[in-house]
Chains A and B, each alone.
Chain A
């Protein structure tokens, strides 16, 4: 079936460094690619998203890039801070499930001071 692969599963960086999380998807009809941040015990919160007609989007320290040909998209966090520590999920909409979101398995990011 259709799926979203996310790497790495864990990532540890020093405060101030950059963090990159990568995802691939299988459905060429996918048209929406959000990223969610989830802190312990809380709901996933949307941090940035990108649609299929755009290649890159930036919001302050966070950026997302999309390569539709290769079917992969990435999250870039610059100047990381300890409060960026959380689990990050990528997701993509799949046409065969009514454009519901299919999620990657998550990346646990730890930013150490």
Chain B
């Protein structure tokens, strides 16, 4: 079974703090993604990566950055957390390119910014 692991499940951070959300996949997938999920808005793409050291902006990249130094790990960084970044963050991975393969999700990281 594909395993996508998000190490932090529940976090509470203060406004202005730098926040790291880590994601690791164990299937040697080339593609990795970060989404945020908010009630009534569905899942929105923040950033994605095709390969090590590669990153592309999604629909809502403002206030976020990412890092992919190793193929299995894709980190989401909130440089200066704000209350409107309180959300559930989902990491996902997929093998290959061209979009036709299954995307697998991690269990999610619930972030509250106070």
Chain A residues within CB distance 8 Å of chain B:
1, 6, 9, 30-32, 34, 42-46, 49, 51, 89, 91, 93, 95, 97-106
**Most chain B C-beta atoms within 10 Å of own C-beta, residue among A32, A42, A46, A89:** A32
- The 5 A-B pairs at the shortest CB distance, nearest first, are namely A99-B99, A93-B99, A105-B42, A103-B43, A43-B105
Question: In whole angstroms, what is the CA distance A93 to B44 when docked?
Answer: 13
Q: Mark B96-114, 1 if CB is under 8 A from A, else 0.
A: 0111111111111000000
**What B residues does A46 contact at CB under 8 A?**
102-104
Chain B residues within CB distance 8 Å of chain A:
31, 33, 35, 40-45, 48, 50, 56, 58-59, 90, 92, 97-108
A44's partner among B31, B43, B59, B98 (CB-CB below 8 A) is: B43
Closest to A106 in B: B42
> Would A44 and B105 count as touching, CB distance under 8 A?
yes
> Would A97 and B56 count as touching, CB distance under 8 A?
yes
**What's the nearest-Cβ distance from chain A to residue B34, in Å?**
10
Question: In whole angstroms, what is the CA distance A98 to B101 when docked?
Answer: 13
> Would A98 and B42 count as touching, CB distance under 8 A?
no
B90's partner among A44, A45, A95, A105 (CB-CB below 8 A) is: A44
How many A-B pairs with Cβ below 8 Å? 70
Q: Contacts A43-B108, A98-B50 given: A103-B102 contact, CB under 8 Å?
A: no
**What A residues does B105 contact at CB under 8 A?**
43-45
A–B complex contacts, Cβ < 8 Å, 30 sampled: A30-B99, A31-B98, A32-B100, A32-B101, A34-B103, A42-B107, A51-B100, A91-B43, A93-B99, A93-B100, A97-B56, A97-B58, A99-B97, A99-B99, A100-B31, A100-B48, A100-B58, A100-B99, A101-B43, A101-B45, A101-B92, A101-B103, A102-B59, A103-B35, A103-B44, A104-B42, A105-B40, A105-B41, A105-B42, A106-B40
**What B residues does A106 contact at CB under 8 A?**
40, 42
